[in-house]
A and B are shown apart, each in its own frame.
Chain A
Amino acid sequence: MMAWAWQRFHPVGLNIRRSADEQLAVALVWLLAALLLVFLAWPLASILIKAVEARDGSFVGLDNLLALLTEPRLLEASWNSIRLALMTLALVLPMALAFAFALTRSRLWERPVFRLIALAPLLAPSLMPAISLVYLFGNQGVLKDWLGDSSIYGPLGIVLGEVFYTFPHALLILATALSVADARLYEAAEVLGASKLRRFMTVTLPNARYGLLSAGMVVFTLVVTDFGVPKVIGGQTNVLALEAYKQVIGQQNFGKGAVIGLLLLLPAVLSFSVERWLARSHGAAMSGRSVSYQPGRNHVRDVLLGVCCSGICLFLLAMLGVAIAAAFMKLWPYDLSFTLDHFDFDQVDGGGWLAFYNSLKLAALTTLVGTAVVFFTAYLISKTPAPRLPANLIRSLVLLPMAVPGLVLGLGYIFCFNDPAHPLHGLYGSMTILVAATVAHFYTTAHLTVATSLRQIDAEIEAVARSLRRPWWTACLRVTLPISLPALLDVARYLFVSSMTTVSCVIFLYTPDTVLASVAVLNMDDAGDTAPAAAMASLIVASSLLATLLINLLGWWLNRHAQAWRTA
């Protein structure tokens, strides 16, 4: 974004001979563009190729697609996916809207606590709520009677699990949408005599419609592409994401898996384009003259919202807590005494403690490599005279992962790197490939965070460094990097937690040596070892939480010691 600013200082433009350090920057930009091509564009392209290939690799055109379309089970699975996603939406959007409203438009003192609890599901793999549901509403569940005659195994369980899993994602978007409000609109409405309800309907909701739409799209995509919840609690209900898993892992039928991967890409691509289109037509809600809205006193509103939020928090805590509690109990429901036996992972399938250590390793590597790559890429394309072709390539590639579900990216990786003819075939089955896939999967959010922070830094810093004949890395390491530290910590926390919990992106890529904790949860549940699965999921939550706390602590310390200039 800052390239134009840089060019202002180089009116002669391309004719200028680049200094040695700039040549290095150019080389690095090309290198990073190449990396993104190899680890992002190539795997995605190989899905397209696999989709038109038979098992033996010969070209079959649309046969795979046609074969699938005529299978009634696939149509049923597609219909289930859509239906369940819509049901989840119908539940999660009002919940998240009310919650976001309470966080931004009430004077409840509990708001920080509510916020913390509401974001807790981000720390858990999507399998965890499903395991909790088995303990709560399964045939031996403590609350089985609540369901009457219906069974938790099936649509009901899937929807409840997905509500837990998608709630914080919807909440974050809606809370951001609601937090920008122009008080002048409310004043005008009040002066014109609009009732409270009318003000909500005509001012609040229209202003939040962009947020609502984008939250809806995110939730829909998450549900359609998640297979953790349906795998554990789906019973005989088949969904598209499960079908892709069955085709690729169960039957090693890559062609059919690729076609399903493409189908799963549809809702994501659709929502991505709608969102881009909206973003262009949607004007800024806050202009220079806006007055930020301060919620007034309103007891009825606050009490209602408080009750509503407490209810939601109770649901979220129950879904998290039951699995943790079950991890420490001997034999649910016959013997509830305390035990640590279920943490003896080496006695059951799934990979044992190795899986947990591997996950920590993956999370640490992803955090380090990911944060560094994301920062330097964003820096080089915005603050140095990067050549237009690779810079534009990078700019469009980094937005791609947002539209690609983890399951689809994982499929792309297996198709791409499992091919013995691929020059990087040697990476297949290594930790490197897992790190690359995870970084690629979470790239967009990380990039946008860094890019936003870099945009706030004056371009003249680089110009001054240059006029002082200092190479760009001096300006970068001494000035820009320290200023961007808070944003980098955000990225680090996001990458760590995401790589601890992701299942869909890595399920196709692990080997016995690189098995991961989230995958172990899935495999243990598959083998019927539900309590150890709950124990492993609890460990994931604990380590995500610990990492979050540590990073927050580091941020607080930095804020006090290294960021004093911000307040000076």
Chain B
Amino acid sequence: MQVRHILKPLATLVALLAGVAHANTTLTVYTALEADQLKAYQAQFEAENPDVKIKWVRDSTGIITAKLLAEKAAPQADVVMGVAASSLLVLAQEGMLQPYAPKGVEKLSKQYVDTAKVPSWVGMDVWGATLCFNTVEAAKQGIKKPESWRDLLKPEYKGKIVMPNPASSGTGYFDVTAWLTLFGEKEGWAYMDKLHDNIAQYTHSGSKPCKQAAAGEFPIGISFEYRAAKLKEGGAPLDLVFPKEGLGWDVEATAIMKGAKNLEAARKLADWSASRSANELYEKNFAIVAYPGVAKPNGFIPANYEQLLVKQDLSWSAKHRDRILAEWTRRYDGKSEPKK
């Protein structure tokens, strides 16, 4: 008798709560997009799809990738959006992505979409390496502006350079793969050995080196063009340097997880991500977007930016990701005292 008295209202409560949860589909989206970009994307998508709400899980590329791999047995994410294609290729190799051709995918530039017939991932935009150089601090400390990656090895930059840790940051990872591509495997590691002597800190995120350069904490930050342009626009005394050997880059892309609980809504987000209206938003942040003809020139980024990117194979980056990161960690992570 008594038990039934308690159970009945409890059951009603559960039913009520369940009802609330199903009125709208909540889509769990894992992302490595910057916090200041998420708001605009979410607002536009939800305005066009009022029945779907996005719940972001945001962290650096490396961490989101590790999280997705760890959850392989019971995936929590419906969609992965704004994560490096080199990471999504790893997930694709593990068979964790649900191939899907979003509406209008044929209009996008081919080199920024998965080559499979039904693509596993679809690109949004390209982000690439940029050096943030603090002119005020440089003048104070009497250091010259570097023009190339090789320049960074000069003794005058000892302890003045910050770069992202490739294990946690997608930006850091494409720097490493670009050096390995540009200089070759053996020379590439030799380059990083010498660069390591000049590095003051390896940071968790790809934005932090540029923010630290902007604050003058360290005069040179190896970062990416969006953060650099944004900080310069905000008044930081920065020069953007595009090293002449070529820039590492990756594609920010969207993919649907295999076993997504809300497949219908996930497809809506994938459709939107490939649409012109979404690409117009990406354009505000990036010089190169997947939808041809949308990109506009940015005052801080040279018009020939796309030609500055190194020729590199993202699937090679994905295939060797584990090996390269293990080697990098063995060589540089936490093995050295801070530079004086």
Q: Which residues of A contact B (CB under 8 A)?
A: 72-73, 76-77, 134, 138-140, 149-151, 153-155, 235-238, 242-243, 249-252, 254, 331-334, 346-350, 420, 511-513, 526-530
Contact = CB atoms under 8 A, between A and B. Distances in A.
Given A151-B339, A512-B55, A526 B216 contact: no
A82 to B, nearest CB: 15
A73 B334 contact: yes
Given A138-B217, A252-B69, A237 B207 contact: no
Contacts of A151: 159, 200, 338-340
A150 B159 CA distance: 11
B205 A526 contact: yes
A528 B333 contact: no
A528 B66 contact: no
Contacts of B340: 149-151
A236 B201 CA distance: 6
Given A149-B340, A236-B337, A528 B205 contact: yes
A134 B333 contact: no
A140 B336 contact: no
B70 interface: yes
Size category of the B interface is 35 or more
Interface of B: 34-36, 39, 55-58, 62-63, 66-67, 69-70, 73-74, 136, 159, 167-168, 200-205, 207-212, 215-218, 235-237, 329-330, 333-340
Nearest to A56: B73
Contacts of B62: 250
A168 to B, nearest CB: 28
B173 to A, nearest CB: 13
Given A149-B340, A153-B201, A154-B337, A527 B208 contact: yes
Given A238-B333, A512-B58, A348 B66 contact: no
A331 B136 CA distance: 14
Residue among A72, A73, A250, A348 with the highest chain B CB neighbour number at 10 A: A250
Given A235-B201, A238-B334, A334-B237, A527 B215 contact: no
Residue among A72, A150, A151, A251 with the highest chain B CB neighbour number at 10 A: A251
Nearest to B57: A512
B214 to A, nearest CB: 8
13 contacts: A138-B217, A237-B334, A237-B338, A238-B333, A249-B63, A250-B63, A250-B168, A334-B237, A349-B34, A420-B74, A512-B55, A527-B211, A528-B203
Given A350-B35, A512-B58, 13 more contacts: A72-B335, A76-B335, A140-B215, A151-B339, A236-B335, A236-B337, A237-B334, A242-B334, A250-B168, A252-B67, A331-B236, A334-B237, A529-B211
Contact of B338 (A153, A333, A350, A512): A153
Contact of B337 (A140, A237, A527): A237
Nearest to A529: B211
B335 A73 contact: yes
B70 A334 contact: no
Given A235-B200, A236-B338, A512-B58, A139 B210 contact: no
A236 B334 contact: yes
A503 to B, nearest CB: 15
Given A250-B62, A250-B66, A348 B36 contact: yes
A76 to B, nearest CB: 7
A98 B259 CA distance: 63
Contacts of B57: 511-512
A348 B39 CA distance: 11
A458 to B, nearest CB: 37
Contacts of B204: 526-527
A420 B73 CA distance: 10
Contacts, number: 110
B87 to A, nearest CB: 13
Contacts of B337: 154-155, 236-237
Contacts of A528: 203, 205, 207-212
A397 to B, nearest CB: 29
Contacts of A349: 34-35, 58, 205
Contacts of B217: 134, 138-140
A526 B202 CA distance: 11
A250 B339 CA distance: 24
Contact of A334 (B69, B203, B205, B216): B216
Given A153-B200, A236-B202, A528-B205, A139 B216 contact: yes
B336 to A, nearest CB: 5
Contact of A347 (B36, B70, B205): B36
A249 B63 CA distance: 7
Contacts of A140: 215-217
Contacts of A238: 333-335
B143 to A, nearest CB: 13
Contacts of A347: 35-36
Contacts of A77: 334
A134 B211 CA distance: 14
Nearest to B330: A73
Contact of A332 (B168, B211, B215): B215
Contacts of B216: 139-140, 333-334
A511 B216 CA distance: 33
A427 B261 CA distance: 19
B208 A331 contact: no
B12 to A, nearest CB: 19
Contacts of B39: 346
A150 B237 CA distance: 26
B60 to A, nearest CB: 8
Contacts of A346: 39
Q: 3 tightest CB-CB pairs across the interface, nearest first?
A: A238-B334, A528-B211, A528-B208
Given A139-B216, A334-B216, A349-B35, A73 B55 contact: no
Nearest to B205: A527
Contacts of A73: 329-330, 333-335
Nearest to A425: B74
Contacts of B335: 72-73, 76, 236, 238
Contacts of B215: 140, 331-333, 530
A527 to B, nearest CB: 5
Contacts of A150: 340
A236 B197 CA distance: 12
Nearest to B199: A236
Contact of B167 (A235, A237, A250): A250
Residue among B69, B201, B204 with the highest chain A CB neighbour number at 10 A: B204
A143 to B, nearest CB: 15
Contacts of B56: 512
Contacts of A242: 334
A236 B336 contact: yes
Nearest to B159: A151
Nearest to B38: A349
Nearest to A57: B73
A341 B34 CA distance: 18
B311 to A, nearest CB: 30
Contact of A527 (B55, B201, B207, B237): B207
Contacts of A512: 55-58
Nearest to A239: B334
A527 B237 CA distance: 19
B39 to A, nearest CB: 8
